[in-house]
Amino acid sequence: MLRRTQGARPGSDEPGWAEPDHHAIGRSRGGLTTKLHLLTDGQGRPLVLLLTPGNVNDCPTFPQLIAGLRVAKPGPGRPRTRPNHVLGDKGYSSRANRELLRRRGIPHTIPEPRDQQANRARRGSRGGRPVGFDKKRYQRRNVVERGFNQLKAWRGIASRTDKHAINYRGGITFRATLAWIS
């Protein structure tokens, strides 16, 4: 993950945007890869993006994605940090993520994987209640996938030809900006 040091502005030549030691490249089933984690709005436009090595799971990155959410209001005031609703895939299903969303008062629709269902059923009454799941609302999740596809339509982003994570993130940020303009 890219981290920002004190006092630097994004895009400036002054030191501040640190290149991670692993360059956001990690070994996964497909070889050396980079994983792009993304929060989008209801129209598939990127709001928050996070780069991790390809071997990093989705669950631990979710709190960082939610913490990075800032949506400016049309008028004066602080930016919104709480979305109206979160749609996530099975990769984001965990008790910790659901608890984070509940604590912040954010409604969510995240399917529960079969292994978690089986573990909950095996524990009986100690396993807790089944998670609420709205199939009709979950059908809107295709907007998120279309947001990913829109970014990865650029060959350099899809194939990760950049050596440094900062350059790769710059390309993704540029493409995300174009998605907001058009």
What Å distances lie between residue 68 and 3, 6, 71, 140, 155, CA to CA? 12, 16, 10, 23, 27
Distance CA 146, CA 141 (A): 9
Mean pLDDT computed over 43-66? 91
Please return the burial class of 41, using the count of CB atoms within 10 Å of its CB with bins 0-12, 13-18 and 19+: middle
Does residue 15 carry a pLDDT above 70? Answer: no
Q: Which pLDDT belongs to residue 96?
A: 93
- 119 token code pair: 């573990």
Helices and strands of the chain, counted as H and E runs:
7, 7
Q: Which pLDDT belongs to residue 124?
A: 85
Asked if residues 24 and 165 have their Cβ atoms less than 8 Å apart, the reply is yes
pLDDT tens digits, one per residue of 85-113: 999 999 899 989 999 999 999 999 999 99
Please return the burial class of 114, using the count of CB atoms within 10 Å of its CB with bins 0-12, 13-18 and 19+: exposed
Mean pLDDT computed over 78-86? 92
Q: Which pLDDT belongs to residue 67?
A: 94
Share of the chain above pLDDT 90, in %: 47
- With bands split at pLDDT 50, 70 and 90, how would you rate the model's confidence at 14? very low
Which position has the higher pLDDT, 150 or 12? 150
Domain coordinates in residue numbering, the chain: 3-8+20-181
**Which 8-state DSSP code applies to residue 72?**
-
Q: Which pLDDT belongs to residue 123?
A: 86
Which position has the higher pLDDT, 174 or 182? 174
Q: Which pLDDT belongs to residue 27?
A: 83
Asked if residues 25 and 33 have their Cβ atoms less than 8 Å apart, the reply is yes
Distance CA 46, CA 43 (A): 9
Does residue 4 carry a pLDDT above 60? Answer: no
Share of the chain above pLDDT 70, in %: 91
Q: Which pLDDT belongs to residue 9?
A: 46
Q: Which pLDDT belongs to residue 34?
A: 87
Q: Which pLDDT belongs to residue 5?
A: 44
Task: Tell me the sheet residues that pair with 153.
Answer: none
**Which 8-state DSSP code applies to residue 180?**
H
Q: What is the largest CA-CA distance in the chain?
A: 58
Question: SS3 of 83, please?
Answer: coil
- 31 token code pair: 């070889």
Residue 146 is inside which H or E element, if any? helix 142-151
- With bands split at pLDDT 50, 70 and 90, how would you rate the model's confidence at 17? low
CATH topology of domain 3-8+20-181: Nucleotidyltransferase; domain 5 (3.30.420)
Percent helix, percent strand, percent coil in the chain, to nearest 5 = 40, 15, 45
